[in-house]
Amino acid sequence: MSAARQLYCQQLRQFSDTLVQLQTPIKILDAIKWPREMEQRFLATGGSQLPAIDKGFYDALPLPFAPHQVQQELKQLKQNIHKTLGKQDPLGRLLVANVEQYRQVIDMLTHRGTPTFGRLSQQLYGSADNKLHGDRHTLRQLGDRLSYIFSLPAASHMNKQHPKNLDAATAVTDLSQRLGRYFHSDEMRVRLSDGIVSDAAVGGDTVKINSKAMFSQADLNVYEVHEGWVHVGTTLNGRAQPHATWLSVGSPRVAAAQEGLAVLLEMLTLSSTPGRARRISDRVTAVDMAEKGADFIEVFRYFREQDLSEKDSYRVTQRVFRGGMVAGGSCFTKDISYVRGYVENVNFIRSAIASGLPELIPMLFLGKLAIEDIPTLYLAYRDGILTAPRYLPPMFEDYSGLYAWFGFASGLGNINLKGVQRHFQRQFRILPNVEPLYAGQEETEFDSTVE
């Protein structure tokens, strides 16, 4: 490596480490979370009273950093990057993009419980009215279509296979063993937590399991690949970078790529369930309703009318209104990231294959990145500035199988599915009109949530 290149890498590492340090106390979900008892209070009223969450509630939850001071430090970091690396340096521009995102995040968090929070959330994460790249459909339209598919009668039959019969301690032991084998060269933890509202969440290299929840084997299958392989995996891959350590932390611009990749892994490993997939799809509908002015009760009742349980209806609604206004008009739009990101990841892989660039596919795991960053990051990898991902799921390490899978999927995409369905429905007419699977088993409520 030349002296000039060595100096560049040192400077990149210095700026990267500074960004990692500055963003450490900026924890979005912690800043907008609601008390767990709020669910009990709301359901005790039959869902007839708005949760007691307003601007005053958030003002009483001080941020663990000084907003003005961190804003100034981020502004100075941006100036230093421009001065040292130049405004046109490709990796410097990615660094600055993340710096600017954290500045917007601070603005958003200082406006919790106000209309400004919702506007800034849309700028950071997008809106349910956004259209998919290269497509005319909105995210809300896609979400509605998926919600319909995952609420068909066949889905309820399949959901009965997954009873929640594992306590939290058992879940921690099981998941620790699984992820310990996967992350063979790094320490990571799975631990019980009393401080999370969802059933599982990730913080850096730690998977947190809600100590008060019960779990199914299907839940653990999801957590292994979603929380473990993707969220922890990209954190550790980013930390292993010799110069671009900012890839170990994620600003909102990476949310769609991260959550979409996690959902894609659920699908590729057959870990997800119709109930889980429906919850992800319903989140888009909840965001769209809240964006258009529906209040908390209206969104909650909508999902009750769609035959979701009280608990599921509350939780999908609560996710969207946290940080915003329960009376409507301001919400947290991050939950569109799961569906949007899934589609974008699938289309990226398909496009990489069709363009003769399948070697770009493992770059999805390089760290916490936006998909549009990958060409720049790949060039830096080719130049020796970045290293290959340390941890890759098997199907991404040898992506010949992915090539075949997506090749077949693309080839089948032009088949007239409605015509095929009519053909088979004619054959299905001889079957009795009764529940075909798992007759007599009790209904199982599916209320687990994963961030």
- pLDDT tens digits, residue range 216-241? 999 999 999 999 999 999 999 999 99
Pairwise CA distance, residues 192 & 207, whole Å:
9
At residue 159, the pLDDT reads 62
Predicted local distance difference test score (pLDDT) of residue 429: 85
- Residue ranges in 240-335 assigned as alpha helix (H): 255-268, 274-291, 296-305, 310-321
**CA dihedral (362, 368, 372, 378) positive or negative:** negative
Cβ atoms < 10 Å from Cβ of 48 = 10
pLDDT at 440: 39
Residue whose C-alpha is closest to residue 449's, from 154, 89, 208, 187: 208
**Which residue stretches of the chain have pLDDT < 70?**
134, 156-160, 433-451
Instruction: State the pLDDT at residue 439.
Output: 40
Alpha-helix runs per DSSP H in 1-88: 3-23, 28-32, 37-44, 55-59, 67-85
**From CA 114, how far away is CA 110, in angstroms rounded?**
9
Q: Tokens at residue 20, please?
A: 């990692």
The CA distance from 260 to 339, in Å, is: 6
pLDDT of residue 103: 98
For 283, residues 6+ apart whose C-beta sits below 8 A from its C-beta are: 143, 316, 319, 320, 335, 336, 338, 339
Q: Which residues of 243-253 are buried (b: 16+ CB within 10 A; e: fewer)?
A: bbbbbbbbbbb
pLDDT of residue 448: 38
